[in-house]
Structure 1
């Protein structure tokens, strides 16, 4: 009768359904000398649990927490400083030009300068055309591989 209850407890234990009292019953049973022969392989596990229960941690743990800087408030402060700077540094005179021809010439100079800087930026990424050529060559290789795989599959 005791053996049946131990086997039922072991089944519950393996399914993770035992209570602490039931686990203690199992530990007590396997720490004794009269363990059934077909349950001997459980004995080292429960003996380990009994020994492990006696271990105690003796080192001291530092309980001081490090102060962490809250970066969210830093971003809020940065936005506030920028907004105040924009508000107080608004120029009164924006430099409007009365002569339309002079205004056109100024706008043309500024657009030419912007175009010049954009052209310098696009010149540095010219190597991407070479990458595209290499990728198209790889596509040809994929087509060759597909056709050879079709040929070899038909032979097999």
Structure 2
């Protein structure tokens, strides 16, 4: 095929005005071995496109992302189950009957039980404040150091 016709087709190709038949003519021309030196860059381009056209994918990537969707729906279902469980099962434990309260009918016995309970709370509080003595010593030492500087 004459070089002038190929160059005109290349100009039209560069402008995007060629038909598919004309592009096939160009592709067939550039797949030959004997191409002029000034058109070698086009030969590389058409050889690459011919090679890409022959390639096929055997294992197509998973576009749908089914694992991601499954994970999202599983998470949503778990959240709903937990929320419904908290709402329905925890609500029944809030109802208290008068029989559930530990009532004592004898006033003196109730007073003794109250004193015992308050004494126990007081002992626990005193145990917690005993450790604060070390903290007071630490603060005194810190204040001395700060006043020296």
Normalised by the size of structure 1, how large is the TM-score?
0.42
Structure number with greater Rg is 2
